[in-house]
Structure 1
Amino acid sequence: MSASVSMPLGGVQVGSYEDYQRAQRAVDFLSDEKFPVENVTIIGSDLRMVERVTGRLSWGRAIGAGAASGAWFGLFVGLLLGIFAPDGSSWVGSVVTGLLIGLVFGAVFGAVGYSATRGRRDFTSTSQVVAARYDLMCNPQFAEQARAALARLSLRG
């Protein structure tokens, strides 16, 4: 269904929630009530990006993180190559060699990546986009049915 001038994208509003978990709970409740949830849309409004600083980034941390991710990749490649090994000892050799080569290359790439920043970003962080409000929108032909079910949900607490 395409949006028209008279109907906003997603349909008409049947609920509004402070956080995504409550909006998700409402849709889950509608699903439990056998409501046709394919007619529902969750729309986040007033978006903002939140970046949480998780720690200081140093040479040791950059090299260590690179070495760890390289070791995992090297282990994976070693296991794949070990499948084709003719006997057990060469299988172990393939795995250990892949692990060590991955560790070394990962450490080198971690150091190169850190040096490329030239100290402009000496911290680690995680970021996410969050909304101030989450509106539950519904196809107009099912809106009253959705409102009635959501009213039952709000009465349950």
Structure 2
Amino acid sequence: MSFQQPGPGAPNARSPLSLEFPQSLAVYDDYKSAQKAVDHLSDREFPVQNLMIVGTDLKQVERITGRLTTGKVALAGALSGLWLGVFIGLILSLFGEDGVLQLILTCAVMGVLFGLLWALVGYALTRGQRDFSAVSAVVATRYEVLVEHSLLSQAQQLLGEEPGLRPNPFA
């Protein structure tokens, strides 16, 4: 697996996210284990710049955090607008001398109205197709440590010293 992406004008330039001829050294179920393997090699003074940790078998995970209601959407929009209005008011107040507090309060009220309206219109456009809030992330289910081909046997030998970090038997 190679991630070479030569830039313009440099057809043979190597990306910092590439190896010339990468070989699989080991596969782990979590990133911490892959990181521990690289750290073990680093402690043995292996040239770790010839290694990569690659997350594979990606999946998207979405954690539902709650139910959306018109009230929750309105409150979130109003609060978001309030922060935006206060921010704009503070910036504008730098250029004025009189009525600074009035300017900030006016911007805050306008921000609340704008945020409220914007959030409610956006929520209405979904027509009930997504009445929940969530956080999502793309996560890897496996982490593969790749090594430059010329250093594979050295890395296998060093990794074999630690029982919990055994290299791939088929590499």
TM-score, normalised by the number of residues in structure 1: 0.76
Question: Would the alpha carbon gap of residues 72 and 32 (structure 1) be closer, same or farther in structure 2, given more than 3 Å must change?
Answer: farther
* SS at 1:86 equivalent: coil
Percent identity, please.
42
> By how many angstroms is 1:42 displaced?
1.8
What is aligned with 1:6?
A: none
Counterpart check, 1:14 vs 2:25: yes
Alignment of 1:53-72 (within 5 A): 53-72=64-83
Match of 2:142? 133
Residues 73 and 12 of structure 1, relative CA distance in 2, 3 Å threshold: same
Structure 2, unpaired ranges of 5+: 6-17, 166-171
Root-mean-square deviation over aligned CA pairs? 2.9
Task: Check 1:61–1:138 CA distance in 2 against 1; reply closer, same or farther (3 A cut).
Answer: same
- Of 23, 43, 47, 2:34 maps to 23
1:100 counterpart residue number? 109
The alignment partner of 1:106 has SS state of: helix
Closer/same/farther in 2, CA of residues 34 and 61 from structure 1, 3 Å limit: farther
Map of 2:14 onto structure 1: none
Unaligned ranges ≥5, structure 1? 4-8
Instruction: Give the match for residue 57 of structure 2.
Output: 46
Distance 1:35 1:110, change over 3 A: farther
* Aligned-residue offset at 1:138: 1.8
